[in-house]
Structure 1
Protein backbone atom coordinates (compact mmCIF):
# COMPACT_ATOMS: atom_id res chain seq x y z
CA UNK A 1 0.00 0.00 0.00
CA UNK A 2 2.89 2.32 0.90
CA UNK A 3 4.51 1.51 -2.46
CA UNK A 4 1.27 2.37 -4.27
CA UNK A 5 0.96 5.65 -2.37
CA UNK A 6 4.55 6.58 -3.22
CA UNK A 7 3.94 5.96 -6.93
CA UNK A 8 0.83 8.17 -6.85
CA UNK A 9 2.73 10.90 -5.03
CA UNK A 10 5.55 10.80 -7.57
CA UNK A 11 3.06 10.94 -10.43
CA UNK A 12 1.36 13.95 -8.84
CA UNK A 13 4.71 15.70 -8.42
CA UNK A 14 5.41 15.12 -12.10
CA UNK A 15 2.13 16.81 -13.01
CA UNK A 16 2.83 19.74 -10.72
CA UNK A 17 6.37 20.21 -12.03
CA UNK A 18 5.39 20.01 -15.69
CA UNK A 19 4.98 23.61 -16.85
CA UNK A 20 2.90 25.03 -19.65
CA UNK A 21 3.37 28.24 -21.59
CA UNK A 22 0.50 29.72 -23.58
CA UNK A 23 1.65 31.81 -26.53
CA UNK A 24 -0.37 34.14 -28.74
CA UNK A 25 1.62 34.47 -31.95
CA UNK A 26 1.19 36.34 -35.22
CA UNK A 27 0.08 34.06 -38.06
CA UNK A 28 3.25 34.74 -40.07
CA UNK A 29 5.28 32.74 -37.51
CA UNK A 30 3.29 29.57 -38.23
CA UNK A 31 5.94 28.03 -40.46
CA UNK A 32 8.79 28.45 -37.98
CA UNK A 33 6.91 27.20 -34.93
CA UNK A 34 7.29 23.45 -35.45
CA UNK A 35 11.05 23.85 -35.26
CA UNK A 36 10.86 26.41 -32.43
CA UNK A 37 8.76 24.00 -30.35
CA UNK A 38 11.02 21.05 -31.12
CA UNK A 39 14.25 22.86 -30.19
CA UNK A 40 12.79 24.55 -27.10
CA UNK A 41 11.34 21.29 -25.77
CA UNK A 42 14.71 19.55 -26.20
CA UNK A 43 16.13 22.06 -23.74
CA UNK A 44 12.98 22.13 -21.56
CA UNK A 45 11.44 18.63 -21.76
CA UNK A 46 9.04 19.28 -18.88
CA UNK A 47 7.52 22.37 -20.48
CA UNK A 48 4.62 22.19 -22.92
CA UNK A 49 4.05 25.03 -25.39
CA UNK A 50 0.46 25.88 -26.35
CA UNK A 51 0.44 28.17 -29.38
CA UNK A 52 -2.53 30.16 -30.72
CA UNK A 53 -1.95 31.82 -34.09
CA UNK A 54 -3.84 34.72 -35.59
CA UNK A 55 -3.86 38.36 -36.68
CA UNK A 56 -1.95 40.53 -34.23
CA UNK A 57 -4.75 43.04 -33.77
CA UNK A 58 -7.26 40.31 -33.02
CA UNK A 59 -4.91 38.63 -30.52
CA UNK A 60 -4.23 42.00 -28.89
CA UNK A 61 -7.98 42.45 -28.38
CA UNK A 62 -8.38 38.92 -27.00
CA UNK A 63 -5.65 39.57 -24.42
CA UNK A 64 -7.29 42.83 -23.34
CA UNK A 65 -10.54 40.91 -22.96
CA UNK A 66 -8.95 38.39 -20.60
CA UNK A 67 -7.55 35.64 -22.84
CA UNK A 68 -5.11 33.70 -20.58
CA UNK A 69 -1.86 33.98 -22.56
CA UNK A 70 1.64 34.18 -21.11
CA UNK A 71 3.55 35.51 -24.13
CA UNK A 72 2.47 37.69 -27.05
CA UNK A 73 4.52 37.57 -30.28
CA UNK A 74 3.08 40.26 -32.54
CA UNK A 75 3.75 40.95 -36.20
CA UNK A 76 4.84 44.48 -35.32
CA UNK A 77 6.00 46.54 -32.36
CA UNK A 78 2.81 48.59 -32.16
CA UNK A 79 0.43 45.84 -31.07
CA UNK A 80 2.98 44.45 -28.58
CA UNK A 81 3.90 47.82 -27.02
CA UNK A 82 0.22 48.74 -26.84
CA UNK A 83 -0.24 45.95 -24.29
CA UNK A 84 2.61 47.31 -22.17
CA UNK A 85 1.20 50.83 -22.29
CA UNK A 86 -2.24 49.47 -21.35
CA UNK A 87 -0.79 47.61 -18.35
CA UNK A 88 -1.04 44.06 -19.69
CA UNK A 89 2.69 43.36 -20.19
CA UNK A 90 5.64 43.34 -17.81
CA UNK A 91 7.98 45.44 -20.00
CA UNK A 92 8.23 47.14 -23.38
CA UNK A 93 8.40 44.89 -26.42
CA UNK A 94 11.63 43.42 -27.72
CA UNK A 95 12.15 42.84 -31.45
CA UNK A 96 12.51 39.12 -32.12
CA UNK A 97 12.64 39.25 -35.95
CA UNK A 98 11.95 41.43 -38.97
CA UNK A 99 9.55 40.07 -41.55
CA UNK A 100 9.33 40.45 -45.32
CA UNK A 101 6.38 40.63 -47.70
CA UNK A 102 6.14 38.48 -50.82
CA UNK A 103 3.72 38.29 -53.75
CA UNK A 104 2.49 34.81 -54.62
CA UNK A 105 0.59 33.48 -57.62
CA UNK A 106 -0.11 29.95 -58.82
CA UNK A 107 -1.99 31.24 -61.89
CA UNK A 108 0.79 32.01 -64.39
CA UNK A 109 0.87 35.70 -63.57
CA UNK A 110 4.11 37.32 -64.77
CA UNK A 111 5.57 38.27 -61.40
CA UNK A 112 8.72 39.42 -63.17
CA UNK A 113 6.87 42.71 -63.70
CA UNK A 114 6.84 43.28 -59.95
CA UNK A 115 3.85 45.16 -58.58
CA UNK A 116 2.94 46.27 -62.10
CA UNK A 117 1.73 42.69 -62.63
CA UNK A 118 -1.29 43.60 -60.51
CA UNK A 119 -2.55 45.90 -63.26
CA UNK A 120 -2.78 43.02 -65.74
CA UNK A 121 -6.34 42.44 -66.97
CA UNK A 122 -6.21 38.74 -66.08
CA UNK A 123 -5.55 39.61 -62.43
CA UNK A 124 -9.08 39.89 -61.07
CA UNK A 125 -8.48 39.30 -57.35
CA UNK A 126 -5.65 40.31 -55.02
CA UNK A 127 -5.65 38.84 -51.52
CA UNK A 128 -4.15 40.79 -48.62
CA UNK A 129 -4.46 40.46 -44.85
CA UNK A 130 -6.82 42.95 -43.21
CA UNK A 131 -4.65 46.08 -42.82
CA UNK A 132 -6.57 47.12 -39.68
CA UNK A 133 -5.54 44.04 -37.71
CA UNK A 134 -2.59 42.51 -39.59
CA UNK A 135 0.69 44.45 -39.97
CA UNK A 136 1.54 42.50 -43.13
CA UNK A 137 -1.71 43.78 -44.61
CA UNK A 138 -0.71 47.33 -43.70
CA UNK A 139 2.67 46.80 -45.39
CA UNK A 140 0.96 45.40 -48.50
CA UNK A 141 -1.20 48.49 -48.91
CA UNK A 142 1.78 50.75 -48.23
CA UNK A 143 3.80 48.98 -50.94
CA UNK A 144 1.03 49.42 -53.52
CA UNK A 145 0.64 53.08 -52.58
CA UNK A 146 4.38 53.79 -52.84
CA UNK A 147 4.47 52.01 -56.21
CA UNK A 148 1.62 54.35 -57.24
CA UNK A 149 -0.70 51.56 -58.32
CA UNK A 150 -3.05 51.29 -55.32
CA UNK A 151 -5.83 53.45 -56.76
CA UNK A 152 -5.86 51.48 -60.02
CA UNK A 153 -6.03 48.04 -58.35
CA UNK A 154 -7.90 48.61 -55.07
CA UNK A 155 -11.13 47.33 -56.62
CA UNK A 156 -9.49 43.91 -57.01
CA UNK A 157 -8.46 43.61 -53.36
CA UNK A 158 -10.02 40.95 -51.13
CA UNK A 159 -9.18 41.22 -47.43
CA UNK A 160 -8.40 38.08 -45.45
CA UNK A 161 -8.68 37.90 -41.66
CA UNK A 162 -4.98 37.12 -41.24
CA UNK A 163 -1.80 36.66 -43.24
CA UNK A 164 -2.31 32.90 -42.99
CA UNK A 165 -5.74 33.20 -44.61
CA UNK A 166 -4.24 35.44 -47.31
CA UNK A 167 -1.87 32.58 -48.15
CA UNK A 168 -4.76 30.11 -48.33
CA UNK A 169 -6.64 32.42 -50.69
CA UNK A 170 -3.54 32.93 -52.86
CA UNK A 171 -3.19 29.16 -53.21
CA UNK A 172 -6.85 28.64 -54.07
CA UNK A 173 -9.12 31.43 -55.26
CA UNK A 174 -7.10 34.63 -55.64
CA UNK A 175 -4.97 35.44 -58.68
CA UNK A 176 -2.26 37.07 -56.57
CA UNK A 177 -1.71 37.22 -52.82
CA UNK A 178 0.46 39.38 -50.59
CA UNK A 179 1.87 36.95 -48.04
CA UNK A 180 4.55 36.61 -45.39
CA UNK A 181 7.74 35.58 -47.19
CA UNK A 182 8.36 33.11 -44.34
CA UNK A 183 5.63 30.87 -45.79
CA UNK A 184 7.75 30.16 -48.84
CA UNK A 185 10.50 28.63 -46.71
CA UNK A 186 8.21 26.05 -45.11
CA UNK A 187 9.10 22.45 -46.12
CA UNK A 188 5.61 21.69 -47.43
CA UNK A 189 5.75 24.74 -49.72
CA UNK A 190 9.21 23.86 -51.00
CA UNK A 191 8.12 20.28 -51.68
CA UNK A 192 4.94 20.94 -53.64
CA UNK A 193 2.84 23.68 -52.11
CA UNK A 194 2.24 25.64 -55.32
CA UNK A 195 -0.47 23.73 -57.20
CA UNK A 196 1.44 20.48 -56.60
CA UNK A 197 4.79 21.92 -57.69
CA UNK A 198 7.65 23.16 -55.49
CA UNK A 199 7.22 26.90 -54.90
CA UNK A 200 9.98 28.71 -56.79
CA UNK A 201 11.13 32.28 -56.40
CA UNK A 202 10.67 34.19 -59.64
CA UNK A 203 8.01 31.79 -60.89
CA UNK A 204 5.49 31.45 -58.07
CA UNK A 205 6.60 34.22 -55.74
CA UNK A 206 8.75 37.35 -55.59
CA UNK A 207 9.83 39.44 -52.63
CA UNK A 208 8.25 42.89 -52.50
CA UNK A 209 11.07 45.48 -52.39
CA UNK A 210 11.56 46.40 -48.73
CA UNK A 211 11.98 50.04 -49.77
CA UNK A 212 8.23 50.12 -50.47
CA UNK A 213 7.10 49.52 -46.88
CA UNK A 214 8.18 50.29 -43.35
CA UNK A 215 10.36 47.52 -41.86
CA UNK A 216 8.18 44.93 -40.15
CA UNK A 217 9.92 44.72 -36.78
CA UNK A 218 8.04 42.06 -34.84
CA UNK A 219 7.66 42.58 -31.09
CA UNK A 220 7.32 40.19 -28.14
CA UNK A 221 6.20 40.77 -24.55
CA UNK A 222 5.71 38.71 -21.42
CA UNK A 223 2.19 39.31 -20.16
CA UNK A 224 1.35 40.18 -16.55
CA UNK A 225 -0.26 36.78 -16.01
CA UNK A 226 3.19 35.22 -16.46
CA UNK A 227 5.17 37.77 -14.45
CA UNK A 228 6.54 35.05 -12.13
CA UNK A 229 6.36 32.16 -14.60
CA UNK A 230 9.88 30.75 -15.02
CA UNK A 231 8.85 28.63 -18.02
CA UNK A 232 7.48 31.69 -19.84
CA UNK A 233 10.74 33.58 -19.16
CA UNK A 234 12.72 30.59 -20.46
CA UNK A 235 10.72 30.63 -23.71
CA UNK A 236 11.11 34.40 -24.06
CA UNK A 237 14.88 34.09 -23.60
CA UNK A 238 15.03 31.21 -26.09
CA UNK A 239 13.33 33.25 -28.82
CA UNK A 240 15.87 36.05 -28.33
CA UNK A 241 18.82 33.64 -28.19
CA UNK A 242 21.20 32.79 -31.02
CA UNK A 243 19.33 29.50 -31.54
CA UNK A 244 15.97 31.24 -31.77
CA UNK A 245 17.33 33.72 -34.29
CA UNK A 246 18.93 30.92 -36.28
CA UNK A 247 15.52 29.28 -36.68
CA UNK A 248 13.82 32.51 -37.75
CA UNK A 249 16.62 33.22 -40.23
CA UNK A 250 15.92 29.83 -41.90
CA UNK A 251 12.42 31.10 -42.63
CA UNK A 252 13.53 34.30 -44.31
CA UNK A 253 13.43 36.71 -41.39
CA UNK A 254 16.06 39.38 -40.76
CA UNK A 255 17.37 41.06 -37.60
Structure 2
Protein backbone atom coordinates (compact mmCIF):
# COMPACT_ATOMS: atom_id res chain seq x y z
CA UNK A 1 0.00 0.00 0.00
CA UNK A 2 2.82 2.39 0.88
CA UNK A 3 4.48 1.71 -2.47
CA UNK A 4 1.19 2.37 -4.30
CA UNK A 5 0.69 5.66 -2.46
CA UNK A 6 4.25 6.68 -3.27
CA UNK A 7 3.70 5.89 -6.97
CA UNK A 8 0.47 7.90 -7.05
CA UNK A 9 2.21 10.84 -5.36
CA UNK A 10 5.01 10.79 -7.94
CA UNK A 11 2.51 10.68 -10.82
CA UNK A 12 0.58 13.63 -9.44
CA UNK A 13 3.72 15.74 -9.05
CA UNK A 14 5.03 15.09 -12.56
CA UNK A 15 4.79 18.15 -14.86
CA UNK A 16 1.87 18.08 -17.27
CA UNK A 17 2.75 16.58 -20.65
CA UNK A 18 3.22 19.23 -23.31
CA UNK A 19 0.53 19.24 -25.98
CA UNK A 20 1.41 20.50 -29.44
CA UNK A 21 -0.64 22.90 -31.54
CA UNK A 22 0.29 23.38 -35.20
CA UNK A 23 -0.36 26.94 -36.34
CA UNK A 24 -0.15 28.44 -39.84
CA UNK A 25 0.34 32.22 -39.51
CA UNK A 26 0.42 35.00 -42.08
CA UNK A 27 3.85 36.56 -42.57
CA UNK A 28 2.80 39.91 -41.10
CA UNK A 29 2.66 38.12 -37.73
CA UNK A 30 6.31 37.05 -37.93
CA UNK A 31 7.46 39.71 -35.46
CA UNK A 32 4.85 39.05 -32.77
CA UNK A 33 3.82 35.41 -33.08
CA UNK A 34 6.50 34.25 -30.63
CA UNK A 35 5.24 36.72 -28.02
CA UNK A 36 1.66 35.59 -28.61
CA UNK A 37 2.75 31.96 -28.28
CA UNK A 38 4.60 32.65 -25.04
CA UNK A 39 1.59 34.45 -23.56
CA UNK A 40 -0.69 31.57 -24.54
CA UNK A 41 1.68 28.99 -23.06
CA UNK A 42 1.75 31.00 -19.84
CA UNK A 43 -2.04 30.89 -19.69
CA UNK A 44 -2.17 27.24 -20.77
CA UNK A 45 1.08 25.70 -19.43
CA UNK A 46 0.76 22.40 -21.27
CA UNK A 47 0.49 24.14 -24.67
CA UNK A 48 3.40 24.07 -27.08
CA UNK A 49 2.93 26.00 -30.32
CA UNK A 50 4.68 25.00 -33.52
CA UNK A 51 4.26 27.89 -35.95
CA UNK A 52 4.90 28.19 -39.68
CA UNK A 53 4.71 31.63 -41.30
CA UNK A 54 4.07 32.38 -44.95
CA UNK A 55 1.63 33.72 -47.51
CA UNK A 56 -2.01 33.29 -46.52
CA UNK A 57 -2.96 32.07 -50.00
CA UNK A 58 -0.35 29.33 -49.91
CA UNK A 59 -1.55 28.14 -46.50
CA UNK A 60 -5.13 28.24 -47.79
CA UNK A 61 -4.23 25.85 -50.62
CA UNK A 62 -2.24 23.56 -48.31
CA UNK A 63 -5.02 23.34 -45.71
CA UNK A 64 -7.59 22.57 -48.41
CA UNK A 65 -5.40 19.65 -49.45
CA UNK A 66 -5.11 18.25 -45.92
CA UNK A 67 -2.03 19.92 -44.45
CA UNK A 68 -1.88 19.15 -40.70
CA UNK A 69 -2.23 22.76 -39.46
CA UNK A 70 -4.80 23.00 -36.68
CA UNK A 71 -5.20 26.80 -36.54
CA UNK A 72 -4.97 29.21 -39.47
CA UNK A 73 -4.18 32.88 -38.82
CA UNK A 74 -4.81 34.56 -42.14
CA UNK A 75 -4.06 38.13 -43.20
CA UNK A 76 -7.65 38.42 -44.40
CA UNK A 77 -11.09 37.00 -43.64
CA UNK A 78 -11.73 35.57 -47.11
CA UNK A 79 -9.34 32.62 -47.00
CA UNK A 80 -10.49 31.21 -43.62
CA UNK A 81 -14.14 31.86 -44.52
CA UNK A 82 -13.71 29.90 -47.76
CA UNK A 83 -12.13 27.02 -45.85
CA UNK A 84 -15.15 27.00 -43.55
CA UNK A 85 -17.52 26.92 -46.53
CA UNK A 86 -15.55 24.03 -48.02
CA UNK A 87 -15.65 22.03 -44.79
CA UNK A 88 -11.89 22.37 -44.28
CA UNK A 89 -12.37 24.55 -41.18
CA UNK A 90 -14.85 24.91 -38.33
CA UNK A 91 -17.17 27.78 -39.28
CA UNK A 92 -18.22 28.52 -35.69
CA UNK A 93 -14.62 29.38 -34.77
CA UNK A 94 -14.04 32.00 -37.52
CA UNK A 95 -12.90 35.12 -35.64
CA UNK A 96 -11.49 38.51 -36.72
CA UNK A 97 -8.43 39.11 -34.56
CA UNK A 98 -6.63 42.15 -36.02
CA UNK A 99 -6.76 44.91 -38.62
CA UNK A 100 -3.67 45.54 -40.73
CA UNK A 101 -2.41 48.77 -42.30
CA UNK A 102 -0.05 49.31 -45.20
CA UNK A 103 2.79 51.81 -45.44
CA UNK A 104 5.31 53.11 -47.93
CA UNK A 105 8.75 52.28 -46.52
CA UNK A 106 12.24 53.15 -47.70
CA UNK A 107 15.82 53.03 -46.49
CA UNK A 108 16.95 55.24 -49.39
CA UNK A 109 17.22 58.88 -48.26
CA UNK A 110 16.72 60.10 -51.85
CA UNK A 111 13.04 59.25 -51.68
CA UNK A 112 10.62 61.20 -49.50
CA UNK A 113 7.78 58.78 -48.81
CA UNK A 114 5.96 61.53 -46.91
CA UNK A 115 4.84 62.66 -50.38
CA UNK A 116 2.58 59.63 -50.39
CA UNK A 117 1.76 58.24 -53.82
CA UNK A 118 3.52 61.15 -55.54
CA UNK A 119 6.85 59.52 -54.65
CA UNK A 120 6.22 57.01 -57.43
CA UNK A 121 6.57 59.80 -59.99
CA UNK A 122 10.28 60.17 -59.16
CA UNK A 123 12.28 59.25 -62.28
CA UNK A 124 15.08 57.79 -60.13
CA UNK A 125 12.77 55.09 -58.81
CA UNK A 126 13.39 51.76 -60.54
CA UNK A 127 12.37 49.05 -58.03
CA UNK A 128 9.26 48.85 -55.85
CA UNK A 129 8.58 45.83 -53.60
CA UNK A 130 5.24 44.38 -52.64
CA UNK A 131 3.86 40.99 -51.71
CA UNK A 132 2.33 38.82 -54.40
CA UNK A 133 -1.29 40.01 -54.86
CA UNK A 134 -2.27 36.51 -55.98
CA UNK A 135 -1.59 34.91 -52.59
CA UNK A 136 -0.92 37.69 -50.06
CA UNK A 137 -3.73 39.94 -48.80
CA UNK A 138 -1.24 42.76 -48.17
CA UNK A 139 -0.16 42.47 -51.79
CA UNK A 140 -3.78 42.78 -52.89
CA UNK A 141 -4.17 45.85 -50.69
CA UNK A 142 -1.00 47.39 -52.15
CA UNK A 143 -2.20 46.76 -55.69
CA UNK A 144 -5.62 48.25 -54.89
CA UNK A 145 -3.99 51.38 -53.43
CA UNK A 146 -1.78 51.81 -56.49
CA UNK A 147 -4.73 51.30 -58.83
CA UNK A 148 -6.81 53.85 -56.91
CA UNK A 149 -3.97 56.38 -57.25
CA UNK A 150 -3.56 55.64 -60.97
CA UNK A 151 0.03 54.39 -60.44
CA UNK A 152 -0.35 50.67 -61.12
CA UNK A 153 0.15 50.59 -64.94
CA UNK A 154 3.32 52.73 -64.92
CA UNK A 155 4.87 50.74 -62.06
CA UNK A 156 4.49 47.31 -63.68
CA UNK A 157 8.08 47.16 -65.04
CA UNK A 158 9.47 48.31 -61.67
CA UNK A 159 7.75 45.82 -59.40
CA UNK A 160 9.76 43.35 -57.30
CA UNK A 161 7.26 40.76 -56.11
CA UNK A 162 7.78 38.89 -52.85
CA UNK A 163 6.04 35.62 -52.10
CA UNK A 164 4.74 37.19 -48.90
CA UNK A 165 4.98 40.43 -46.95
CA UNK A 166 8.11 39.29 -45.08
CA UNK A 167 9.94 38.79 -48.36
CA UNK A 168 8.80 42.21 -49.63
CA UNK A 169 10.29 43.72 -46.46
CA UNK A 170 13.50 41.79 -47.09
CA UNK A 171 13.79 43.24 -50.60
CA UNK A 172 13.85 46.75 -49.13
CA UNK A 173 16.31 45.75 -46.37
CA UNK A 174 18.77 44.27 -48.86
CA UNK A 175 18.54 47.14 -51.34
CA UNK A 176 16.82 45.05 -54.00
CA UNK A 177 13.96 47.56 -53.84
CA UNK A 178 14.13 51.28 -53.15
CA UNK A 179 10.60 51.50 -51.75
CA UNK A 180 8.28 48.83 -50.41
CA UNK A 181 4.56 48.79 -49.81
CA UNK A 182 4.55 46.69 -46.66
CA UNK A 183 2.70 46.18 -43.39
CA UNK A 184 2.83 48.72 -40.59
CA UNK A 185 3.42 45.78 -38.22
CA UNK A 186 6.70 45.04 -40.02
CA UNK A 187 8.24 48.50 -39.83
CA UNK A 188 7.31 49.16 -36.20
CA UNK A 189 8.55 45.75 -35.04
CA UNK A 190 11.45 45.78 -32.56
CA UNK A 191 13.79 44.47 -35.27
CA UNK A 192 13.05 47.24 -37.79
CA UNK A 193 11.78 50.12 -35.67
CA UNK A 194 13.66 53.32 -36.48
CA UNK A 195 15.14 52.02 -39.73
CA UNK A 196 14.47 54.27 -42.70
CA UNK A 197 11.22 56.20 -42.95
CA UNK A 198 7.65 55.20 -43.60
CA UNK A 199 4.36 56.79 -44.56
CA UNK A 200 1.08 55.32 -43.36
CA UNK A 201 -1.32 55.23 -46.29
CA UNK A 202 -4.67 56.84 -45.48
CA UNK A 203 -7.52 54.46 -44.74
CA UNK A 204 -10.04 56.62 -46.63
CA UNK A 205 -11.23 54.84 -49.75
CA UNK A 206 -9.41 51.61 -48.85
CA UNK A 207 -11.01 48.42 -47.63
CA UNK A 208 -9.68 47.57 -44.14
CA UNK A 209 -7.38 44.55 -43.96
CA UNK A 210 -9.39 42.57 -41.41
CA UNK A 211 -7.50 39.42 -40.44
CA UNK A 212 -9.21 36.20 -39.45
CA UNK A 213 -8.40 33.11 -37.38
CA UNK A 214 -10.09 29.75 -37.67
CA UNK A 215 -9.76 26.21 -36.35
CA UNK A 216 -9.15 23.87 -39.27
CA UNK A 217 -10.76 20.48 -39.75
CA UNK A 218 -7.46 18.97 -38.62
CA UNK A 219 -7.74 20.88 -35.32
CA UNK A 220 -11.38 20.05 -34.63
CA UNK A 221 -10.47 17.45 -32.02
CA UNK A 222 -7.63 19.37 -30.38
CA UNK A 223 -9.07 21.52 -27.56
CA UNK A 224 -6.00 23.75 -27.70
CA UNK A 225 -6.99 24.94 -31.17
CA UNK A 226 -10.25 26.51 -30.03
CA UNK A 227 -8.60 27.87 -26.88
CA UNK A 228 -5.91 29.60 -28.94
CA UNK A 229 -8.41 31.25 -31.28
CA UNK A 230 -10.39 32.43 -28.24
CA UNK A 231 -7.16 33.65 -26.62
CA UNK A 232 -6.59 36.07 -29.52
CA UNK A 233 -9.59 38.10 -28.31
CA UNK A 234 -8.31 38.46 -24.74
CA UNK A 235 -6.96 41.81 -23.49
CA UNK A 236 -3.45 40.38 -23.21
CA UNK A 237 -3.32 39.14 -26.80
CA UNK A 238 -4.91 42.31 -28.15
CA UNK A 239 -2.32 44.40 -26.29
CA UNK A 240 0.49 42.43 -27.94
CA UNK A 241 -1.03 42.88 -31.39
CA UNK A 242 -1.61 46.60 -30.86
CA UNK A 243 1.97 47.05 -29.65
CA UNK A 244 3.10 45.55 -32.93
CA UNK A 245 1.14 47.97 -35.08
CA UNK A 246 -2.17 46.19 -35.59
CA UNK A 247 -5.57 47.74 -35.18
CA UNK A 248 -8.39 45.89 -33.51
CA UNK A 249 -11.62 44.74 -35.16
CA UNK A 250 -14.82 46.21 -33.73
CA UNK A 251 -16.13 44.42 -30.66
CA UNK A 252 -19.41 42.69 -31.59
CA UNK A 253 -22.44 44.44 -30.12
CA UNK A 254 -24.07 42.63 -27.22
CA UNK A 255 -27.41 41.03 -28.15
CA UNK A 256 -30.47 43.04 -27.13
CA UNK A 257 -33.07 41.86 -24.70
TM-score by length of 2: 0.87
Q: Secondary structure at the match of 1:187?
A: coil
1:63, 1:69 within 8 Å by CA — same for their partners in 2? Answer: yes
**Does residue 68 in structure 1 map to residue 61 in structure 2?**
no
Per mean C-alpha deviation after superposition, the further-off stretch among 74-83 and 236-245 is 236-245
In angstroms, what is the RMSD of aligned CA positions?
Answer: 2.0
Instruction: Give the CA deviation at 1:228.
Output: 2.5
Q: Say if 2:71 and 2:225, in contact at 8 Å, map to a contact too.
A: yes
- Residues in 2 aligned to 1:249 and 1:163: alpha-carbon distance in whole angstroms: 18
1:176 maps to 179
Q: In the TM superposition, what is the alpha-carbon distance from 1:234 to its structure 2 partner? A: 1.6
CA distance 1:170–1:212, change in 2 (3 Å): farther
Which among 109, 112, 123 is matched to residue 110 of structure 1? 112
2:253 maps to none
Gaps of 5+ in 2: 249-257
Q: How does 1:135-146 map to 2 (within 5 A)?
A: 135-146=137-148
For residues 129 and 224 of structure 1, the distance between their equivalents in structure 2, rounded to whole angstroms, comes to 28
Q: Which residue of 1 aligns with 2:97?
A: 96
Cross-structure match for 1:195? none
Structure-to-structure mapping, 1:221-232, within 5 angstroms: 221-232=214-225
Hey, what does 1:153 align to over in structure 2? Answer: 155
Structure 1 residues 16-35: aligned runs within 5 Å:
17-35=17-35
C-alpha deviation, 1:244, in angstroms:
1.3
Runs of 4+ in 1 over 2 A off after TM superposition: none
Please give the TM-score of this superposition, normalised by the length of structure 1.
0.88
Structure 1: state its 5+ residue gaps.
191-197
Q: Secondary structure at the match of 1:209?
A: coil
Could you report, residue by residue, the CA deviation over 1:102-142 in whole angstroms, capped at 9, with x for unpaired residues? 11111111112111101211110001100010000000010
Query: Secondary structure of the equivalent of 1:69?
Result: coil
Establish whether residue 186 from structure 1 lines up as the match of residue 189 from structure 2. Answer: yes
Tell me if structure 2 keeps the 8 A contact 1:116–1:149: no
Query: Is the CA contact (8 Å cut-off) linking 1:147 and 1:212 kept in structure 2?
Result: no
Secondary structure in 1 matching 2:147:
helix
Structure 2 contact 114–198 (Cα < 8 Å) conserved: no
Distance in 2 (alpha carbons) for counterparts of 1:68 and 1:152 = 42
Q: Report how far residue 19 of structure 1 moved.
A: 0.9
CA distance in 2, matches of 1:212, 1:176: 22
Which has the larger helix fraction? 1
Question: What SS does structure 2 have at the residue aligned with 1:211?
Answer: coil
Count of paired positions: 240
For 2:122 and 2:28, how far apart are their aligned partners in 1? 28
Deviation at 1:229, TM superposition (A): 1.4
